Structure 1
Amino acid sequence: MLCYFKKTNGSKLVWFREQTKANITFLVIRNYSLKCDLKTIHSCDNGKISSKLFHDLSDNSLKKLTSFFENFIEQNEEKDWDVYYESGVLTVNLGQYGTYVINKQAPNKQLWLSSPLGGPKRYDYNTKSKEWISLRDGSKIKDVLSTELSIITKKKIELPSSIDGE
């Protein structure tokens, strides 16, 4: 089963899911498109990772994301953009484009993303693929951020795979 987004009139995108009986469900969402294989979603096993491993992975990911955003802001030479990381919370202010907040949720063993373009998402760590993946739509945090930052800057942005914690 694949889920993906389809561009419609104007700037809206529509999410839809193909099912074997040709049922199609439409849901209007915000500004970006992604492709995901939903089989990946079911292989997330964050409940099996220890709290120590979760903290190591999430802290490492947040530090790498902080470094990425510091370089990203420096390269884009935007004076009103800023990045701040403290106590497991990464805040990235992109001026007129809004603010990203990425933080760890220890009880759920998740990374949470609040995005000015895509809204809130929760990511579980998949120990097989070694990536932070949304159980809701199969998106990977690095792909979502890459896509949204590409929309904001109007140029191709790719986050490195290394941000996934290992």
Structure 2
Amino acid sequence: MSNIPSKDISKPTLSIYNTLTSQLLNDIYNKFDNIFSTKKNQNKIDLNLNKQRNQNNQDKIDLDLNNNVITCRIENIGEYVINKQPSIYEIWLSSPISGPSKYKLKMDNNFKNKHTWLSKCNKNIINQLNREIEQIEKMV
């Protein structure tokens, strides 16, 4: 979607922005939750082999979605904070891996439901998080 010519991109209404940011935040929260729940379940299977490892891994993740802010603390890695900035139609990401970044909602007028969240460098927030989650999965 980042290849859409700028003349085809419009600014969304606040209502659309709020709907799409809520969707995005829920999707990101669920992605983190699914990954770390899977890790915890894998650790429970290993419980008989290594109780200490299981107890330590369960304490590694603290995930919260409250008032349109995701906070994900990952022991020995750092803290993610992802939140809405409705006055400027952005999502802000603070990452322990890539640092702070801002993403604007870009909508394509030619396709009713086609949109993406892009940084000034045309990086997509979902792609960025997917890359980082792959790195984190190897560390947790």
Report the secondary structure of 1:49's partner residue: coil
Q: Give 2:33's aligned residue.
A: 70
Q: Give 1:25's aligned residue.
A: none
Would the alpha carbon gap of residues 138 and 85 (structure 1) be closer, same or farther in structure 2, given more than 3 Å must change? same
After TM superposition, the structure 1 = structure 2 runs for residues 10-159 of structure 1, keeping only pairs within 5 Å, are 40=4, 42=6, 45=9, 48-77=11-40, 78-79=57-58, 80-128=60-108, 129-134=114-119, 136-154=120-138
The Cα shift of 1:87 comes to 0.6
Q: Distance in 1 between matches of 2:14 and 2:65?
A: 21
The Cα shift of 1:127 comes to 1.1
* Number of matched pairs: 117
Q: Distance in 1 between matches of 2:138 and 2:99?
A: 20
The Cα shift of 1:64 comes to 1.6
Q: Name the structure where strand makes up a greater proportion of residues.
A: 1
Q: Distance in 2 between matches of 1:41 and 1:76?
A: 41
8 Å CA contact 1:43, 1:126 repeated in 2? no
- TM-score when normalising by structure 1: 0.63
The Cα shift of 1:66 comes to 1.2
Structure 1: stretches of 5+ with no match in the other structure: 1-36, 156-166
Q: Distance in 1 between matches of 2:68 and 2:88?
A: 14
8 Å CA contact 1:41, 1:133 repeated in 2? no
Q: Distance in 2 between matches of 1:43 and 1:81?
A: 43
Largest Rg, 1 or 2: 2
- TM-score when normalising by structure 2: 0.74
